[in-house]
Amino acid sequence: MSDIDYKDRGSLLNPLKSFAFFGRPAVTEAIEPRPASDNYRGFHVNDWTKCVGCSTCQKVCDNAAITMVRIPGLIADPVKGIRDERPAIDYGRCCWCGLCVDICPTGSLALSREYVHTCVDAELDSYFVLPDSSGMHGQHFEKGWAKTADADLVDLDRQKMPEMEPEQRIGNFAEMLLGYDDQQALLEASRCVQCGMCHDACPTHMHAPEYIRAIWEGKLEEAVAWIYQTNPFAHICGRVCTRRCEDACSIGHRGEPIAIRWLKRYAMDAVPHERVKQIALAGKVDTPTGKRVAIIGGGPAGLTAAFDLAKKGHAVTVFEALAEPGGMTRWGIPEYRLPYDRIDRDIDVIRSAGVDIRCNVRIGQDITLDQLRAGHDAVLLALGLQQGRQTRIPHSEHEKVFRAVDLLNKITANEPFDVPHCAVVIGGGNVAMDIARSLARLQKQQYGQVNVVVTALEEQQHFMADPDEIKEALEEGIVIRDQCGPQGCEIDAAGKLVGLKTWKVLSIFDENKRFAPRYDEAGETIHACDTVIEAIGQSADTSLLGDTLTEALEWNRGRIKVDADGRTSEAWLWSAGDMVNGPDVVHAVADGHRVATSIDAVLMEQKK
């Protein structure tokens, strides 16, 4: 089998043939380091303009060679998911495996083609290096081992949320998104690299990395426990949160961010409600403090504060003007996005902490603020923004011109009203989409066809509304006309509303970034309709304060002025939520926690 026979006893002369090598040139190697291969795994380079300090490299490092260092002067922006930290490498530990490169979510990290470093004992510090793009010795070596598409260790694609098709969903208010199944949730959770950017970006600093990890581990109750550490609006935020977390997600730099919101929703839906209640109430103080707190407004801000204070043993009463608690999450957000039974669950948890919620009590009418103050040790105002703003364009006082929130309110209350045959909505935000899509559903139910136009000042790609909302609205047959500035409602001789006149928008802001739209009159359009809906924002109704208190309080641009803890200039009065700090549920929740902490501190101080 072998080409040399085993029986070959060899020859003494054979090696002499090697003398031929004397005639050949010697093999020489240059003293300079040889250039390394294109793919070389040498010392790190890190593009600091791309690196966000997420520390994923540190987590994958098998030799514990990476230390995160905070560098003052670099951009630190939790909202965008950027930290002023960068990885430093201990070359006493690094083994140049390059897993840090393959996993780097932004692609900032690479290994260079530089591979020589020597030093004497006294210079051992030179083994600890903070690489930037100039490399270990500032010599700008070329990149060696760098990220390639087929070698990425980050999964850039999110699990698709199952949803109802437009035809299925348009004629009803059933929830359009169906939620992840177990397998999808597991896969989605497994994409997370645990960088915690989401936690930093979240107004209430939810423990998203922890609950995502718990979901991945199949410990759903633990996930719920993590969620309740910071957010009693758990079901609600699992469905409608504005998810700053996902904007900050490291994976989002090159791919789709982790569906943090849908994972929260999944965990909340997966654990039985009675268990959720037990988990949420863990740590509740048993002995009452004897202190009484009145909270005006049963929205996210008021109820979050109520939940916290009740868990700390205070007697909390919430006064809510409307028939059911939940605030705008119930009376504004349409059912197809947030079913009422999920709101009921969140509220039930809060109630079970001992919070007394009294509905149909409007403070200022049914009970005065003074009465409340007399019976309580602290009062919290969390009124939200209930009044729709008006455009005040000509003829907008017509009876067929409505505010979006008023109509949404009627829809929740199941109050009958004339569903427009043809509606024009003014505004390009989420509220505009909510009313447009709600009306579209009602039209489909009652007339069999959708006839809603949404007009807004901005170009469509700059609408305030969530891109998903716009996409879904279009799917449902809603017409969007962008760059339209409303100029007046058109009324016919009989006094009937027949349309909305708009001009084409040239620019919205002036050079000082102030709101000052400029129009092109030639681009005039009449949008025919029988109803106009204004969805351009809401304002607070603070009439319950009365003249004396309004005088006494300090104000800030039309809002009650509060300090960082939510305390007003009156020692007994706090304020939270949309009326002082917008704009969404999770901010209201964060605010609720803040005021609760402050109220508790003051009350416990009084007790001493």
Q: Within positions 219 to 278, which residues make up the interface with other proteins, using CB under 8 A?
A: 222, 225, 229
Nearest distance, CB of residue 239 and ligand FAD, angstroms: 8
Nearest to 447 by CA among 170, 168, 174, 176: 170
Nearest distance, CB of residue 323 and ligand FAD, angstroms: 10
Query: Does residue 426 touch ligand FAD according to CB under 6 A?
Result: no
What DSSP assignment string belongs to 94-124?
A: -----HHHHH-SSS-EEEBS-------GGGG
Region 144-163 residues binding other proteins, contact defined as CB under 8 A: 144-145, 148, 150-151, 153-155
Residue number, 148 or 550, with CB nearest to other proteins: 148
Packing angle, helices 220-230 and 273-280, rounded to 10 = 50
Strands annotated E in 438-597 = 452-455, 479-481, 484-491, 497-509, 515-528, 531-534, 538-539, 555-556, 559-560, 573-575
Q: Which of 51, 82, 103, 529 binds other proteins (CB under 8 A)?
A: 103
Cβ–Cβ < 8 Å for 534, 388: yes
Q: Which of 430, 451, 487, 598 binds ligand FAD (CB under 6 A)?
A: 430
Q: Which of 104, 136, 193, 457 binds other proteins (CB under 8 A)?
A: 193
Nearest distance, CB of residue 579 and ligand FAD, angstroms: 6
What DSSP assignment string belongs to 115-155?
A: ------GGGGGGGEE---TT-TTS--PPB-S---GGG--S-
Nearest distance, CB of residue 476 and ligand FAD, angstroms: 17
Query: Does residue 384 touch ligand FAD according to CB under 6 A?
Result: yes
Main-chain dihedrals φ then ψ at residue 161, nearest 5 degrees? -75, 125
For 466, counting Cβ atoms within 10 Å of its Cβ (0-12 exposed, 13-18 middle, 19+ buried), the class is middle
Query: Does residue 23 touch other proteins according to CB under 8 A?
Result: no
Query: Does residue 268 touch ligand FAD according to CB under 6 A?
Result: no
Nearest to 301 by CA among 37, 584, 508, 65: 584
Main-chain dihedrals φ then ψ at residue 547, nearest 5 degrees? -65, -45
Q: Which of 45, 52, 54, 66 binds other proteins (CB under 8 A)?
A: 66
From the list ligand FAD, other proteins, none, pick the one residue 301 interacts with, judged by a Cβ distance below 5 to 8 Å according to partner type: ligand FAD
* DSSP assigned state of 283: T
Torsion sign over Cα 142, 146, 149, 150:
positive
Region 316-355 residues binding ligand FAD, contact defined as CB under 6 A: 319-322, 327-329, 332-333
Strand ranges across the sheet with 378-381: 356-358, 315-319, 292-296, 378-381, 573-575
Packing angle, helices 260-270 and 208-216, rounded to 10 = 60
Query: Does residue 119 touch other proteins according to CB under 8 A?
Result: no
Q: How far is the C-alpha of 430 from the C-alpha of 444, rounded, in Å?
A: 21
Q: Which of 51, 82, 111, 260 binds other proteins (CB under 8 A)?
A: 111
Query: Does residue 469 touch ligand FAD according to CB under 6 A?
Result: no
Q: How far is the C-alpha of 581 from the C-alpha of 575, rounded, in Å?
A: 9
Query: Does residue 429 touch ligand FAD according to CB under 6 A?
Result: no
- Write b or e for each residue in 221-236: b if 16 or more Cβ atoms lie within 10 A of its Cβ, otherwise e: bbbbbbbbebbbbbbb
From the list other proteins, ligand FAD, none, pick the one residue 58 interacts with, judged by a Cβ distance below 5 to 8 Å according to partner type: other proteins
Nearest distance, CB of residue 406 and ligand FAD, angstroms: 11
Q: Which of 45, 54, 98, 321 binds other proteins (CB under 8 A)?
A: 98
Residue 443 one-letter amino acid: Q
Query: Does residue 55 touch other proteins according to CB under 8 A?
Result: yes
> What does the block give as tokens for 232?
């009693």
Q: How far is the C-alpha of 97 from the C-alpha of 131, rounded, in Å?
A: 16
Q: Which of 85, 114, 188, 584 binds ligand FAD (CB under 6 A)?
A: 584
Query: Does residue 240 touch ligand FAD according to CB under 6 A?
Result: yes
Region 516-545 residues binding ligand FAD, contact defined as CB under 6 A: 544
Nearest distance, CB of residue 555 and other proteins, angstroms: 37
How far is the CA of 79 from the CAs of 57, 201, 462, in angstroms?
21, 5, 19
How far is the CA of 429 from the CAs of 434, 480, 513, 537, in angstroms?
9, 12, 19, 9
From the list ligand FAD, other proteins, none, pick the one residue 577 interacts with, judged by a Cβ distance below 5 to 8 Å according to partner type: ligand FAD
From the list other proteins, ligand FAD, none, pick the one residue 39 interacts with, judged by a Cβ distance below 5 to 8 Å according to partner type: other proteins
Nearest distance, CB of residue 371 and ligand FAD, angstroms: 13
Please calculate the CA angle 320-237-602 and round it to the nearest 5 degrees: 55
From the list other proteins, ligand FAD, none, pick the one residue 148 interacts with, judged by a Cβ distance below 5 to 8 Å according to partner type: other proteins
Query: Does residue 382 touch ligand FAD according to CB under 6 A?
Result: yes
Query: Does residue 85 touch other proteins according to CB under 8 A?
Result: yes
Q: How many residues does the chain have?
A: 608
Q: Binding string to ligand FAD for residues 355 to 374, with x set by CB under 6 A, is what?
A: -------xxx----------
Query: Does residue 528 touch other proteins according to CB under 8 A?
Result: no
Query: Does residue 63 touch other proteins according to CB under 8 A?
Result: yes
Residue number, 505 or 588, with CB nearest to ligand FAD: 588
Residues that bind ligand FAD (CB under 6 A): 240-242, 296-302, 319-322, 327-329, 332-333, 362-364, 382-384, 386, 405, 408, 430-431, 434, 544, 577-578, 583-586, 588
